[in-house]
Amino acid sequence: MARESNITYEQVATTADNLKAQGEKPTSRAVRELLGTGSMATVCKFLQQWKAGQTRQGQAADDTIDPSVARAISANIAAKIQTATSEATASLADMQAELDSVILENERQANEINDLTVEAAYHKEEGAKLAGQIQQLSADLIRTTSELDAERQAAEQARIQLAKSELRLEAVPRIEADIEKVSAELALERKASAAAREEAAELRGNIAVLREKN
């Protein structure tokens, strides 16, 4: 069984008339909010009936108006339409001008974005190049540091060898003096040995002479 409506056409029509009298547009939502009850479907159905009645009333009023009055109303309406059209045309022109300004601004911003994109790509490429150069410089620094360490070690070894050589050179005069001293002692020993040999030979000669006498 269909559910009975809890609002009537008269309620919707009265509410719509009140809204129209207050200069407000009688919409389904406005009528529903004022009634505080009823479904939107029912309100819409009754409101359409009310609008149809308003149209018929307007047509009936037009049929009873004097032709001259109707022509004056038509002229007035035409003038208002022309004024509204002119205002709409001017508003449309203003909106078109604003739209053109927006389009130009968008194009300018698009160009700036494109320029920034190109510049960002350039800086990115330059950054990559600099990163490569930094990496190469870091490798060169490590290699140079290793070479310097090796050279410092070699220089230290050379200083040690030089110190040893200097010590040996400082010892040479003392060694030479010792050699001269030993050489002198050896010469003396040789002289003493020669004298001893001569003396021994002389003794052997004397012994031989004595043996012959005996």
What's the pLDDT tens digit per position in 12-64?
A: 999 999 999 999 999 999 999 999 988 899 999 999 999 998 877 766 655 55
Domain residue limits at 32 = 1-63
Residue 108: inside a domain = no
Q: Cβ–Cβ contacts within 10 Å for residue 120, how many?
A: 10
Buried b (16+ CB within 10 A) or exposed e, 86-115: eeeeeeeeeeeeeeeeeeeeeeeeeeeeee
Higher pLDDT, 157 or 78: 157
What pLDDT is stored for residue 63 in this prediction?
A: 55
Residue 42: inside a domain = yes
* pLDDT tens by residue, 69-123: 655 665 666 566 567 556 657 645 644 644 454 454 556 667 878 888 888 889 8
CA distance 156 to 197: 59
Q: What angle do CA 169, 175, 180 make, to 5 degrees?
A: 135
Query: 3: pLDDT confidence band, cut at 50, 70 and 90?
Result: low
Residue 44: inside a domain = yes
Residue 1: inside a domain = yes
Higher pLDDT, 74 or 189: 189
Residue 33: inside a domain = yes
What pLDDT is stored for residue 1 in this prediction?
A: 46
Residue 113: inside a domain = no
Residue 196: inside a domain = no
If one counts the domains in the chain, the total is 1
Residue 156: inside a domain = no
Total-model pTM = 0.31
